[in-house]
Amino acid sequence: HHRFWETQPVGQFKDLGDTSLPEGPIEPPSLLSDVKSEPCNLPAPYEWTTCDMDDERTCTEVYNLLSLNYVEDDENLFRFNYSTEFLRWALRPPGYFKAWHIGVRVKATKKLVAFITGVPARIRVREDVVRMAEVNFLCVHKKLRSKRLAPVMIKEVTRRVHLENIWQAVYTAGVVLPTPTTTCRYWHRTLNPKKLIDVGFSRLGARMTMSRTIRLYKLPESTVTPGFRKMELRDVPAVTRLLRQYLSQFVVALDFDENDVEHWLLPLENVVDSYLIVSPETHEVTDFCSFYSLPASILNNPNYSVLKAAYSFYNVSTKTPLLQLMNDALIVAKQQDYDVFNALDVMHNEAVLKELKFGPGDGHLHYYLYNYRVRNGLKPSELGLVLL
């Protein structure tokens, strides 16, 4: 039973088998004049705040809230530790709305205790490009859990999205809600076996020694594909063309333009990194790979406090096999001292993960659309979309 989600325009469990329901918006947009102009009601001790991510102090407050209260693994060994630079990048893409960076403070002390964000994106579902909000960073302080604050946060972000005449959203979560558009799995490629085992991220395999394990995951010192180099500003037009062409084959995908590519894919130190392959013959950009940097705090380990994790972002292979391209991505991630390289089984990833020595993780990541119904049974490989 989902007291809140049953009231929302999302696919409901009871409708799962119903093939008569059409694809597309679940309910039509309202008149803008009918969108409430007042914020949703919060319990008396709390007040809304709009978080100005340009402001150093606000950004640090958000960082502190998330670093102590955001997503943990099932065993509470690790917690996501998004950096301030990452948060600024994630929350200020082209055309972002400051009003969609929403906090809740304790009136009496002004302490920030809850957060939710949206950023605008164009998402293509089959032929239709839909303006949506990507909703992320929903967090309620540990001491305020289970008080039904989350539904109020979600209603408030929904109201502010509606005020921009946007009626759809996309989001991911580790929990099952009504109802996933598709369910993906994280795969993990060990780069630093000794540390991953020491901190409990992975275990020594059966009949494996540490030295055999280190040998198993060893990578070449330098990348193997001729013409492999870091992406630069001058590559934006070529990368945009390559990516648009590539993503057109997926059922649900991001609709990138050059401004988006410049923001989301141009390397930004310790945030996002991108590489491409220029054909030595034609001098054309033929292949592309990228990853973002999302460290995790290691909770209660005497030797280590941070796990350095790279997350596969968008990859495009046309001339270089995806296997080789991602292997080069692993090599640069290793050079940059990442401990683990994570990837979802979206796009064409599944086909190469095993051979690259990725192992399946235990959790799932569910993708959701708000106010948009897509045929049941969309496969992860039909998804050309990676959220942060």
Residue ranges in 19-78 that form contacts with ligand YNC under rule CB under 6 A: 69-71
Sign of CA dihedral 6, 7, 8, 9: positive
> Contact with Mg ion (CB under 5 A): which of 36, 98, 147, 354?
147
| Beta-bridge partner residues of 183 | 366
Which residues are within 8 A (CB) of 136 and not within 5 positions of it... i.e. 6 or more apart?
90, 117, 118, 119, 171, 172, 387, 388
Name the residue nearer to Mg ion (CB basis): 126 or 148. Answer: 148
User: Is 151 near ligand YNC (CB under 6 A)?
Assistant: yes
User: Is 135 near ligand YNC (CB under 6 A)?
Assistant: yes
Task: Indicate which residue of 149, 254, 365, 388 is catalytic.
Answer: 388
CB of 213 to Mg ion, least distance (A): 42
Instruction: Kindly give the pairing relationship between strand 112-125 and strand 101-106.
Output: antiparallel
d(CA 169, CA 159): 12
Cα Rg, the chain, nearest whole Å: 21
User: Is 96 near ligand YNC (CB under 6 A)?
Assistant: no
CB of 9 to Mg ion, least distance (A): 22
Name the residue nearer to Mg ion (CB basis): 139 or 378. Answer: 139
CB of 101 to ligand YNC, least distance (A): 13
Residue ranges in 348-377 that form contacts with ligand YNC under rule CB under 6 A: 370
Name the residue nearer to ligand YNC (CB basis): 157 or 343. Answer: 157
d(CA 375, CA 126): 11
CB of 147 to ligand YNC, least distance (A): 6
From 382, 378, 346, select the one nearest 248 (Cα to Cα).
382
Q: How far is CA 64 from CA 68, 69, 107, in A?
A: 6, 8, 18
Residues of the shown chain interacting with ligand YNC in the complex, contacts defined by CB under 6 A: 2-5, 69-71, 133, 135-140, 145-151, 154, 157-158, 161, 166-169, 171, 173, 175, 177, 370
> Which residue numbers are catalytic?
388
